[in-house]
Amino acid sequence: MSENTPNPQKNKKSGRTIYWVYGIIIMVLVVVQLTMFNNSSSSREISYQTFSDELVPQGLVERVVIVNNDMVEVYLTPKAVQLEKYRKYATHTNFMGESTANMHFKIVSAEKFEEYLKDKKIAYKTESRGQWVNTLVSWLIFIGITVALWFLLFRRVGGGGSGQIFNIGKNKATLFDQENQVKITFADVAGLDEAKEEVQEIVEFLKNPKKFTRLGGKIPKGALLVGPPGTGKTLLAKAVAGEAQVPFFSLSGSDFVEMFVGVGAARVRDLFKTAKEKAPCIIFIDEIDAVGRARGRNQILGGNDERESTLNQLLVEMDGFGTDSGIIIMAATNRADVLDTALLRPGRFDRQIPVELPDIKGRKAIFEVHLKKIKYDPSLDVDFLAAQTPGFSGADIANICNEAALFAARKDKEIVDKQDFLDAIDRIIGGLEKKNKVISPEEKKVIAYHEAGHALVSWFKPYANPLVKVTIVPRGNALGAAWYLPEEKVIMTTEQITDELCAIMGGRASEEIIFGRVSTGALSDLERVTKRAYAMVAMYGLNKRIGNISFYDSTGQSEYAFQKPYSEKTAQIIDEEVKAIAEDAYTEAKRLIKEHIDGLHTIAKQLLEKEVIFKEDVERILGPRPKPENYTAVVS
Ligand code: ADP
Ligand code: ZN
């Protein structure tokens, strides 16, 4: 079914709410109309002259009423209304069944007018009217507007204009159950062997709870999947539901968060109520850190009551159901360190399952899963693809396979081949090629020397990431790029970081040596250098003068702190050291480029000719890359 088929049920409901609002507004208007302008405005206004020169002399006035000392209502005699001339002043009856005056006019002085009436022997009475009516009316208007606003507001909040005001406290989980079966199994989840093993137990429990509780054992109520985005946490949770054949409630932590206090808690209550009806089942809460952040932090900002009460409710609910109720809660986050410790206590999310970025074996397995869906060249080397994609998540790899299929389709190919995959990888790293971006020959030359500088310096810095290729084809926001193959390493040494910094500085250094000036093209290079240098000094304790101290705060507690955790003097030292690191890297890059200036010219020339050159070309020009062993650090 197409996505935008309107849901008739929904439309009907929202329509009804709108009518309610309209109805109330109209009612208010009608009441206002009737009370405020009852007599006088439904009669016609005449001038004092008409009254004193026409009506009175002809004896057509039966009686008058002086209202609030400034207006006169005139009641004509029955005879008068029958006259052709005054037919238009015929009376109507108002909503209370009284007949209204025929006409009215304004006066300035009630006293003088009364004397005049006495003189002419016209019956009259005085009335003061309207004061209470005005008060009533203003109240009615006020109430009317409030009610209307209330309706409109709640219509908004009550779930994307669905118009269900009373649904605000309902949970927003998507339910996959009998009709909506989860078809994902463990076979769809590649790699993640340890994680799969851990959740296997949950599947067993959901399928056969007696087996475990028979001996008095307790099954964990919740499992927390911790890992970077796109690594397959949702997939894993779904696979558990698919394997166990139980309903699966999926929602995100931010679904609880609303601007009204108490709504989040109501939603949590509702979620667990629905889940209990469907047990055994799995509740999956993505991005649980949206509600589960440690309480009592960031007090400066205040206004955390809502999130705290939501979290409290979640804790209460998790404590409230027994292990035999058959509800398992799985949650995902990429920041377990910011979660409230209460969430991690036994009986709640007592199991933490790490879901890491895949290694080369894992990536191969993920490629294999996603390659099943596309027609690809049978000679395709999956190991090669896995080697080309370090640091990629499962979601990235799924994306590559999809992009590759699209690239091949665009070229009317029958099967997806290696080149399509390489293009897809490039695209995912760097954005789409912009072949028709206008770049002048001078600019092109600057870019070529800049990239050649990166390539050359990284070549002679043995700890820098190995080069793959250099291009001057504009792509995404970049005008050119040197592509490296980052090694898979978890920790970096000082040598590696300083070599990297040199390679990053290579672009700007080359520009300065060749053209005698620098350009704005090195902005992102400088940003990277600065960030890394700061990290070295202030976080990793890799600087002699600062020593073994880290100002990094993994708890995120100081995110809103106004004060730095170090003194002015230390701040100054940090700045000096960062500057020194950047300058050293720049000097070293310049030294290397000057030493191999011929190589730089050759690389730049080839780049201008071919636009793309590969590692092999660079090797032909510069000779084999020096090995780390023969290398001594030059940077202090
Ligand atoms: P997360 O919840 O960790 O952010 P998802 O589970 O939503 O990530 O993953 C997004 C997509 O990436 C999945 O739908 C799947 O296509 C792909 N993917 C991620 N990890 C894997 C994996 N280990 N095996 C197969 N596909 C994966
Ligand atoms: Zn650069």
- Domain containing 270 — which CATH number? 3.40.50.300
Ligand that comes closest to the CA of residue 519: 2
Kindly state whether residues 422 and 554 are assigned to the same domain: no
Closest C-alpha to ligand 1, atom 11: 395
Place of tokens 């463990």: 186
Rg of the chain taking only CA atoms, in angstroms: 40
Last residue of a domain, one of 302, 329, 354: 354
Residue 395 Cα: closest atom of ligand 1: 12
Last residue of a domain, one of 71, 99, 128: 128
Pocket test of ligand 1: the residue of 183, 189, 196, 235 to mutate, having most ligand atoms within 8 Å of its CB, is 235
Kindly state whether residues 419 and 469 are assigned to the same domain: no
280 cis-preceded (ω within 30 degrees of 0): yes
Kindly state whether residues 316 and 419 are assigned to the same domain: no
Kindly state whether residues 78 and 98 are assigned to the same domain: yes
pLDDT computed for residue 252 by the predictor: 86
Judge whether 307 and 264 are in contact, CB under 8 Å. Answer: yes
Instruction: Tell me how far CA of residue 373 lies from CA of 233, 240, 241, 358, 367, in angstroms.
Output: 21, 22, 22, 20, 10
Q: What is the CATH number of the domain that holds 377?
A: 1.10.8.60
**393-448 pLDDT, tens digit each:** 899 899 999 999 998 999 898 888 888 988 888 887 766 666 666 778 888 888 89
Kindly state whether residues 242 and 321 are assigned to the same domain: yes
**17-71 pLDDT, tens digit each:** 566 667 777 776 766 665 555 545 567 788 888 888 888 888 888 888 888 888 8
Kindly state whether residues 445 and 567 are assigned to the same domain: yes
Task: Determine the structural domain holding residue 320 and report its residue range.
Answer: 174-354
**315-332 pLDDT, tens digit each:** 888 887 766 677 888 899
**186-232 pLDDT, tens digit each:** 888 888 888 888 888 888 888 887 777 777 777 678 888 988 888 88
Distance from C-alpha of 107 to C-alpha of 298, rounded to nearest angstrom: 68
Residue 332 Cα: closest atom of ligand 1: 2
Residue 297 in any domain: the answer is yes
Rounded to an integer, the average pLDDT of 440-461 is 90
Share of the chain above pLDDT 90, in %: 13
Judge whether 488 and 359 are in contact, CB under 8 Å. Answer: yes
Closest C-alpha to 169, from 249, 289, 260, 247: 260
Distance from C-alpha of 521 to C-alpha of 472, rounded to nearest angstrom: 13
pLDDT range class, residue 633, cuts 50, 70, 90: very low
Q: What is the CATH number of the domain that holds 455?
A: 1.20.58.760
Ligand that comes closest to the CA of residue 233: 1
pLDDT computed for residue 514 by the predictor: 93
Residue 227 Cα: closest atom of ligand 1: 3
pLDDT computed for residue 6 by the predictor: 37
Kindly state whether residues 350 and 368 are assigned to the same domain: no
The binding-site residues of ligand 1, defined as CB within 6 angstroms of any ligand atom, are 189-192, 229-235, 332, 366, 369, 394-395, 398
Residue 14 in any domain: the answer is no
Residue 397 in any domain: the answer is yes
Torsion sign (Cα): 359, 360, 361, 364? positive
**468-487 pLDDT, tens digit each:** 888 887 766 666 777 776 66
As for how many domains the chain has, the answer is 4
**82-105 pLDDT, tens digit each:** 777 777 777 666 555 566 778 888
595 catalytic residue (yes or no): no
pLDDT range class, residue 584, cuts 50, 70, 90: very high
Residue 12 in any domain: the answer is no
Judge whether 415 and 375 are in contact, CB under 8 Å. Answer: yes
Closest C-alpha to ligand 1, atom 17: 395
Instruction: Tell me how far CA of residue 550 lies from CA of 538, 547, 635, in angstroms.
Output: 6, 9, 22
For residue 281, pLDDT beyond 80: yes
Residue 376 in any domain: the answer is yes
Share of the chain above pLDDT 70, in %: 79
Kindly state whether residues 384 and 509 are assigned to the same domain: no
Higher-confidence residue of 150 and 178: namely 150
Residue 5 in any domain: the answer is no
Higher-confidence residue of 5 and 445: namely 445
pLDDT range class, residue 554, cuts 50, 70, 90: low
DSSP assignment of 330-389: EEEES-GGGB-GGGGSTTSS-EEEE-PPP-HHHHHHHHHHHHTTS-B-TT--HHHHHHT-
